[in-house]
Structure 1
Amino acid sequence: MLTDLRFALRQLRQSPGFTLTAVLTLALGIGATTAIFTLVHQVLLKSLPVTKPEELYRIGDKVHCCMWGGFTQWEEFSLFNYELYKHFRDHTPAFADLAAMQEGASSMGVRRAGTQQPAEAGMGQFVSGNYFRTFGIGAWAGRVLTDSDDREGAPPVAMMTYHAWQTKYGSDPSVIGATFEINSKPFTVVGIAPPGFFGAELNTYGVPDFWMPLSKEPYLKGISSLLKEPNLNWLDIIGRVRQGTDPKGLEAQLRLELREWQMSHLADMNPQEKEFLPKQVLHLTAGGAGVTAMRQQYHDSLVLLMIAAGCVLLIACANLANLLLARGMANRQQTSVRLALGASRMRMVRKALVESMLLGILGGATGLVIAYAGTSMMLRLVVTNTAVHVPIEASPSLPVLLFALGVSLVTGVCFGVAPAWVSSHAEPLDAMRGANRSVAGATSLPQKALVVTQAALSVVLVSAAAMLTHSLRNMKDGNFGFETKDRYIAWIDPMEAGYQENELENLFERMKDRLQRIPGVRSVGLVQWAPMSGDNWNASIRIEGKAEPHKSDNYVANSVRMMPGFFDTIGNRIIMGRPITEEDTASSRHVAVINEAFAKKFFKGENPLGQHFGEMEMKHAGDYEVVGVAADARYVPWDMLNPIEPLFFKPEAQTIRWDTSAAINGEMRSHSLGNIVLWAPGNPPGLETQVRRALAEINPNLSINDLKSYDEALSVDFAQQGLIAKLTSLFGGLALVLAAVGLYGVTAYGVEQRTNEIGIRMALGADRLSVVKMVMRGAFLQVGIGLAIGIPAAIGAGHAMASQLFYVKPWNPLILISATLLLGLAALIAAVVPSQRAASVEPMEALRNE
């Protein structure tokens, strides 16, 4: 084997052109596949870096952000309140530990006490006192949070992530025991989490910088606290089961406990919840990967990209197989001599396989460099907010290195076994005859089959890329119902600066007045969630004068709270009535503006102006009077294939009086406006600096978490679709080039092998045009067969990725014709040179060689 290895190295060294072509071709295929696998491993396959992750189970399956109201949930119960968490914890002995954590993480203003620096934006998460014990996590320095920290009256403490400690505080050991002001409330940092532990959830919005006990949520949130509200669900639950526990039996027990708890609140449920109660479902799922928010978000996309990268790798392998087949045929006489001198056929096969696997390993090593660069590029496209930390690394880990090694060896065998077998079947007597004589080219059948495969795969990839690109263009060019030109959007959280809900209206008035005085700013709109900014609120609707709806009626609408001037700023037209104005004050009648979808759903065939509606309960059906109808605008960046949903707009100055603590809580929290929209034509210089300075003049702790032009913000919304379209287009282009190279190689090799035959044909009267036609016909026959296989496969691929397509049909004839023409053009370019070479053969020279 060592002898074969040394011989293979010598052979590759003596053929630098062949070696470089082979290694680069493989590097592209292996690099693309490994880059995608790096993300697949970290997002889809990797377990949490905790003790015995296989013992962890999550109660629930779906991932919901970030709060769900009510005593029942659609599809299944996956988000929980603190009371229900304690009910599970105290009544389920099968769990050795059961921890709860806030779903997602909240943006918070953080400043080290005693410094004059303004507060910096950070991410914080509330967790139960047994959180770190459940995961088997100790502290890197200091100590972890404990049960004693998570009790009412305990001093406010927090634990910091290693990443935040290292990057924001320079690994300063004095951080442990120091006091930090989080949303202007003092917390003592008691420990640093170990490196690599980012919490129990991976998402693109960032992981926590701090963990705080659940008991301190009211201390930090004030009157908008969720902790003691039994019908406001905001917690994920993960537990460590005892050895020997049957997960199915435990799931059945948890369902009984859920039903017991729900029945204890039967009197608190509205009619719709009571109607939905018998259909409640709860699942117990493996929790070793934590709360898989990013996994659910990117699963389909990563699988699609992995398949596309695999197709590129297959095409690269086919090219290498063709190269080795041509090389083996060219060396057939040498092989015959070796066999005549006593070499066994298995030895010849082994020698060829050693060479091909060596090429595979060299290609894999080079591919790792491409994989690192590719993964880094993909992360920049996926994680658009550089201010947050998403713990995904581009550098190859041990599983990725093993994957690359495995792929390298497998590809080496795949593209080497057929050429090795064919070349080893040369006959010793061929050494005594004209071993290179060929006419019909029957020996090139394996090569032609590989070209057909390449052509078919290329059509599939090019069609998929065209469909995804067209889908992305449809999304971006769609009519969103509002203007993005010259508009800018800023994200704020006044709670980070320590403001309470009853102080917000005055704050927003001051902010609006100060921002409108910035040179170049035409108008300012403050809103709870701006269109396509990433979230929304919804509520169950009641219409005055109409009966209580059933659960099947789906009387749900989204809601947005805003300051006057928002509609003009965003360019959302009012088509009936009027917008919300300065006259809509706390003492005036409660009003709302609805969108067209709301009017069609709840006031179909009626004039909506002057109608009354409310939220949740029939006794509140007259809370809002409709004073205007806005043109439909898309407000959420998901469900793009679905029609625009009903939506209503509420004035910041007006508050509904509720008689339950949960409703009061929600009403108060809805007054925290999170977005500022600025209309500033002409791109005023230094706009972001001036906006930050204006807010700092009001309060130094009042900061902007992010500011973008509206077009940039929309590009973030479509980042996932853009990533898929760009990478699939890249893979499609690469596949097309590789297929053209493969066709060129096979055609050129065929011309070389048939030089004598072509000379005889021309000596017998064939003209040069007929020779060109003969060569071109052979090339396009292979492409035609590939198209016959590839077009139905492309349509099937379109159906398989239908969920990724926005108003694009899998059988779109324009896309299929374009893919066919592209492949035909590539085939024409690839076949032109060999056909011209064939036509230039001199008959007498060919006969003299014969």
Structure 2
Amino acid sequence: MGMLRRLLNLGRQEKIDAEIQAELESHLQMRTDDNLAAGMSPEQARREARLRFGNPIALKERAVASDAALELSGLWRDLLHAVRQLRRSPAFTATSIITLALGIGATTAIFTLVQQVMLQSLPVANPQELWRVGDKMHCCTWGGYTQDGDFTLFSWDLYRSFRTHTPGFEELAAFQASDQGLGVRPPGGAQQTEPRSGQFVSGNFFQTFGIGAWIGRVMTDSDDQENAPPVAVMSYQVWKEKYGSDPSVVGAVYQIDGHPFTVIGVAPPGFYGASLKGWDMPDFWLPLASEPLINGTTSLLKTPGQSWLNLIGRIQPGSNPRTIEAQLRLELRQWQASHLADMTPPEKESWQQQTLNLTPGGSGVSELRAQYKDGLKLLMAAAGCVLLVVCANLANLLLARGLRNRQQTAVRVALGASRRRLIRKALVESIALSLMGGLLGIGVAYAGTNLIVHLAFPVKNASSPIQVAPSVPMLFFALAVATATGILFGIGPAWMTSHAEPVEALRGANRSVGGRSRIQQTLVIAQASMSLVLLSIAALLGQSLRNLKHQNFGFDMNGRYVAWINPKLGGYKPEQLDPLFERIQDRLKAIPGVKAVSTALYAPMSGEAWNAGIRVAGKPEPGPHDDNGASWVRVTPGFFETLGNPILRGRPITDDDTAATLHVAVINEAFAKKFFKGEDPIGRHFGSRKMKYAGIYTVVGIAADMRYVTWGLKEPNRPMFYVPETQTVQYDEADEMANEIATHYLTNVILWAPGHQVGLEEQVREALHEIDPDLVLSSVDSYPYLLKSVFAQQNMISTLVEMFGALGLVLAAVGLYGVTAYSVEQRTGEIGVRMALGADRGKVMQMVLRGAFLQVSIGLAIGVPASIGVGWVVASQLFEVRPWDPVALVLSTTLLLLAALTAGAIPAQRAASIDPTQALRME
């Protein structure tokens, strides 16, 4: 494209140079002829003419400069004239600017999110030099020595091996893949512990990204040693918002999970780390070496079979990433071979097929990109469609305006105005209009971005890296879109009006112009079809969202609440947990209106669950490619009753399931179908990880399927099993034992409190404070609120597409009204003749409406198959809705027809009220 533009510019410049050269030669020849007539010889005549005119190169340069000055002067005069003309038509100007502002603002708002989520690099030094080890998104922890084909998460042991043996990396940093909930108490000790989000990182984390401290210093490798004093780096956001930008924070000792940590520095503004999510960005960064201090017996640092770290490195100048990738794959194979004895039989079969990929890491590990990329592409396409509808609408308005003024245009042509000058004048006016709309559109974009962020991240107290304030890329994008829009909707009308025949225009101003009328009608047809596509997609997404929200979740959400706690932040030991949960449940049951209370590792639809590879007693070891995965949680007695989740067979978990009794489990229907198909599961045994643990759990009950995790909601229910909080499995492996202990720290208290419970959170907070002032309560959320956060992405996309559809519908109606009204104005004489010959008002209205509905009908004929095609494109984002859903198509068609009826009725009524005598007199 750039090459084509340069060739066109070069061709135009050559043409101008040729014209200037021809004019200079003409003047030189005229002077030479005069000299010949005066009696000079041909050589003297030519020489004297050249001396008189001077240096031809300098002459050409002065001519070019004069031409450019005249061009700029002409553009300035055209701009002033355009502003005066727009001021004389305030209704047209206001309508155009507002319409443009909506179209440009909507597109710019979506681009702001696309730029920050999809295109923006980390705010670090030379992000193009960063490379990530891995190419997938995995949260939290991956147990074992193999992963699903490609390694993405890494253990601390494997990270150290890579860092030591890969010289191609100038620096290689590791950081925790999940959030680390922290209980932080500021210096002084009198304040209550506050919940904060943290992240464990390697000592060279900030050095790898080229990040320095805002105040104080960042951590180094010396801070990430086993016996080093515990230190932390605070984020700028929490320093500013929670600690009032107090510089004395640096050097102060904060109690983090009951341990003293010295805050050595504050990170710079805008740095959220290398993991970009829509919420809970790190408040503190802690050295990896301090992870055992925080997590105690559940520590993952020195368990090579637990992968929980993301890796990003800065490569050496001149290094080839593909060479480093090959070396990392070899090192991975060698490391796995050194742990062959610790692998399960399926891992021993598949470890040699494992690999990893080195991918660009300048954008970090972005969960936002993985989560929102498809939705943002859809929204960008929808915003683009709205912008095209805006362009078609304004092109119609400008064309009608130009045709109405074609007598003036004809006079200008008759007086010698060039077509080029007329086109330039019209384009200057349209671009000026679009730039004014673009300026107003920046305000619309700012408000729209705020709305989108509110829809996308509705979680309370959630920090987000998305910046809604206008940025330089946003301003440049708005300017570029405004300019391109001005050219797009202005060039057609400018060309058409400048080619009006002077004679035809001067003969009669009120005669219709068939070709131009067809162009206007074509634009309306395009608007109608595009609006139908937007409306139908909005209807599909809206129905899909309703289906998601009102599907059978398998439990009763009415009157159910989830209280978020974290016993680890209160310093509780594993042996203290059972009595703690008993006290919590007894105390919360005493709150008026609370009918039942139970505690779980994670509540349904809270976002999490643990996963395990299932082994069934009496059945063979699963193969490396067999799907034997299931999710599980740990719960207390009363769990199923509190949620209203029915037990279909057997019994639930009860108070009789203690540490001294048989290890039991309740499974769901999906688990029974997958692992005990055609068999009676009650009394059967299963376990996880290795075959030697296949007989640990005894199935005592089957519960109805519940939608438990917040991912895969469009897929069948996932196999689940539930085990008692009071029972602990003794594993031989240290990492399995650490995981087992970690699952006893239950984080969700589920309350059944029917009716509208005013002040429930305050009562729960007070009750927990009575039990232990250090027991941190984050919030108490109702299930409607939880669903709002779960379906935030779908809600954002559906809401915005509905808004775009409504805007497109209004613009299409305005466009149809404009064309119909203009047609009535042009046919005033014809209508007068018809009425003089006996046509009644009803027939006149039918004639006008017939023309309007003909355009809409053609638009529908194009729009219906286009809507079905686009429905297939977005089918992956639909739930229990067909891409050709007849309800969506009928609803969208009905709305468009009603809008067409409204838009056409006003000009039709005006046509029917024409006085034949006055119309014929005007003609």
Per the normalisation by structure 2, the TM-score is 0.91
Quote the offset at 1:551 in angstroms. Answer: 2.6
Shift of 1:841: 2.2
Q: Which residue of the partner structure matches residue 200 of structure 1? A: 274
Q: Which of 24, 30, 34 pairs up with 2:104?
A: 30
Corresponding residue of 2:49: none
Deviation at 1:553? 2.7
- In the TM superposition, 1:87-106 aligns within 5 A as 87-106=161-180
Mapped contact 1:357–1:412 kept (Cα < 8 A)? yes
Question: SS at the partner of 2:558?
Answer: coil
Any conservation in 2 of the 1:441–1:750 contact (CA below 8 Å)?
Answer: no
* Partner in structure 2 of residue 658 of structure 1: 731
Q: For 1:441 and 1:828, locate their aligned partners in 2 and report how far apart those are by CA, in whole Å.
A: 24
1:10, 1:510 → 2: CA distance? 78
Equivalent position of 2:869 in the other structure = 796
What is the aligned counterpart of 1:215 among 283, 286, 289?
Answer: 289
Contact residue 233 and residue 264 of structure 2 kept, 8 A: yes
The answer to whether the aligner puts 1:674 opposite 2:674 as a matched pair is no
Matches for 1:38-57 after TM superposition, within 5 Å: 38-57=112-131
1:518 is aligned to 2:591: yes
Whether 1:230 aligns to 2:304 is yes
User: Partner of 1:82 in structure 2?
Assistant: 156
Three-state SS of the structure 1 residue aligned to 2:336 is helix
2:398 corresponds to which residue?
Answer: 324
Matched AA of 1:229? T
List per-residue Cα deviations over 1:716-770 (Å, max 9, x = no partner). 1111111111111111111111101100100110110111122223333433333
Match of 1:545 among 618, 621, 632: 618
> Match of 1:495?
568
CA contact (8 A) 2:333 2:352 kept: no
Q: CA deviation at 1:646?
A: 0.9
2:262 aligned with 1:177: no
- Residue 643 of structure 1 is matched in structure 2 by 716
Shift of the alpha carbon at 1:195?
1.0
Contact 1:32 1:309 in 2 (8 A): yes
Contact 2:218 2:265 in 1 (8 A): yes
- Cα deviation, residue 249, structure 1: 2.0
Letter in 2 for 1:387: N
1:224/1:665 contact within 8 Å kept: yes
Asked if structure 2 preserves the Cα contact closer than 8 Å seen for 1:441 and 1:754, the reply is: no
Q: Is residue 814 from structure 1 mapped to residue 882 from structure 2 by the alignment?
A: no
What displacement does 1:379 show?
1.0
- SS of 1:406's equivalent in the other structure is helix
Q: Which residue of 2 aligns with 1:735?
A: 808
Give the distance between the partners of 2:790 and 2:363, measured in 1 at CA: 26
Structure 1 equivalent of residue 499 of structure 2: 425
Does 2:643 correspond to 1:602?
Answer: no
1:279 maps to: 353
Question: Could you list the per-position Cα deviations for residues 219-254 of structure 1 after superposition, in whole angstroms to 9, with x for gaps in the alignment?
Answer: 111000000111111100000011122222222221
The separation in 1 between residues aligned to 2:731 and 2:880, in whole angstroms, is: 43
> 2 CA distance for matches of 1:549 and 1:375?
49
Do 1:161 and 1:194's aligned partners in 2 also have CA atoms closer than 8 Å? yes
Counterpart residue number, 1:575:
648
| Aligned equivalents of 2:355, 2:879: Cα separation in 1 | 32
- Answer whether contact 2:382 2:801 (CA < 8 A) is retained: yes
Amino acid at match of 2:819: V
1:361-376 matches, cutoff 5 A: 361-376=435-450
Query: What SS does structure 2 have at the residue aligned with 1:792?
Result: helix
SS, match of residue 858 in structure 2: helix
The aligned runs of 1:452-471 (5 Å cut-off) are: 452-471=525-544
Asked whether the 8 Å contact 1:337–1:431 carries over to 2, the reply is no
Cα offset, 1:385, TM superposition: 2.3
Shift in Å, 1:704: 1.3
Cα distance in 2 between the residues matched to 1:794 and 1:471: 16
Residue in 2 aligned with 1:627?
Answer: 700
Aligned equivalents of 1:594, 1:149: Cα separation in 2: 46
RCO higher in 1 or 2 (8 Å CA, sep ≥ 6)?
A: 1
Q: Aligned AA for 1:310?
A: G
What letter is aligned with 1:585?
T
For 1:697-712, list aligned pairs within 5 A. 697-712=770-785
**Matched residue SS, 2:625:** helix
Query: Distance between the aligned counterparts of 2:875 and 2:566, measured in 1?
Result: 38
Q: Return the match for 1:483 from 545, 549, 556.
A: 556
Unpaired stretches in structure 2, ≥5 consecutive residues: 1-74
Q: Report whether the alignment pairs 1:308 with 2:378.
A: no
Q: Indicate the SS of the match to 1:251.
A: helix
Aligned to 1:11: 85
Which residue is 1:724 aligned to?
797
User: In 2, distance between residues paired with 1:142 and 1:539?
Assistant: 44
Task: Give the partner amino acid of 1:205.
Answer: W
Q: Does the Cα contact within 8 Å between 1:595 and 1:630 map onto a contact in 2?
A: yes
When the two chains are superposed, the root-mean-square deviation of aligned CA atoms in Å is: 1.2
Distance of 1:431 and 1:198 partners within structure 2: 65
User: Alpha-carbon deviations, 1:314-349, whole Å to 9, x = none?
Assistant: 111111111100000000001111111121111111
* Residue aligning to 1:589: 662
Tell me the distance in 2 between the aligned counterparts of 1:500 and 1:99: 32
The equivalent residue for 1:780 is 853
Select which of 120, 133, 142 maps to 1:59. 133
Alignment partner, residue 634 of structure 2: 561
Q: How do 1:258-273 and structure 2 match up within 5 A?
A: 258-273=332-347
What is the DSSP-based 3-state SS (H/G/I as helix, E as strand, rest coil) of the residue aligned with 1:552? coil
Q: Distance in 1 between matches of 2:506 and 2:278?
A: 68
Corresponding residue to 2:828 among 755, 758, 778: 755
Tell me which of 138, 146, 149 is aligned to 2:223.
149
How far did 1:404 drift?
0.5
Deviation digits for residues 533-565 of structure 1 (CA, Å, limit 9, x no counterpart): 101111011111111121333111111101111
Identical positions, percent: 59
For the residues of structure 2 that align with 1:532 and 1:784, how far apart are their CA atoms? 46
C-alpha displacement of 1:113 = 2.8
Counterparts of 1:446 and 1:395, CA distance in 2: 40
**Residue 506 of structure 1: how far off its partner (Å):** 1.8
Deviations 1:355-397 (A, max 9, x none): 1111111111111111111111111122222323112111110
Q: Looking at CA atoms only, which structure, 1 or 2, has the larger radius of gyration?
A: 2
Q: Residue 127 of structure 1 is aligned with which of 197, 201, 210?
A: 201
Query: More displaced, 832-841 or 364-373?
Result: 832-841
Could you tell me how far 1:503 is from its partner in structure 2? 2.0
Deviation track 1:637-676 (CA, whole Å, cap 9, x = no partner) reads: 2111211011100000000010001110110111111111
**2:737, 2:709 → 1: CA distance?**
25
Aligned with 2:522 (options 431, 440, 449): 449
Letter in 2 for 1:32: A
Question: Alignment partner of 2:181: what SS?
Answer: strand
1:431 is displaced (CA, Å) by 5.3
Which amino acid in structure 2 is aligned with residue 572 of structure 1?
N
What SS does the corresponding residue of 1:712 show, helix, strand or coil?
Answer: helix
How far does residue 122 in structure 1 lie from its aligned partner after superposition? 0.8
Whether the 8 Å CA contact 1:222–1:500 is kept in 2: the answer is no
Residue number among 478, 482, 485 corresponding to 1:404 in the alignment: 478
Q: State which of 208, 211, 219 in structure 2 corresponds to 1:137.
A: 211
User: 2:278 is matched by which residue type in structure 1?
Assistant: T
Q: CA deviation at 1:603?
A: 1.3
Q: Do 1:652 and 1:671's aligned partners in 2 also have CA atoms closer than 8 Å?
A: yes
**Structure 2 CA distance, aligned partners of 1:36 and 1:115?**
46
Q: Deviations over 1:772-827 (max 9, x none)?
A: 22222211111111111111111111111111100110011121121111111111
Normalising by structure 1, we get a TM-score of 0.99
Q: How many residues align?
A: 849
Q: Is the 8 A contact 1:158 1:213 kept in 2?
A: yes
The correspondence for 1:394, drawn from 468, 489, 492, is 468
- SS state at 1:529 partner: coil
Give the Cα separation in 1 of the matches to 2:149 and 2:889.
38
State the secondary structure of the residue aligned to 1:797: helix
Contact 1:540 1:615 in 2 (8 A): yes
Report the Cα offset of residue 137 of structure 1.
0.5
SS in 1 for 2:599: strand
Can you list the C-alpha shifts for 1:386-417, whole angstroms capped at 9, x where unaligned? 32311211111000000001000000110111
The 2-side partners of 1:844 and 1:671 are apart by: 92
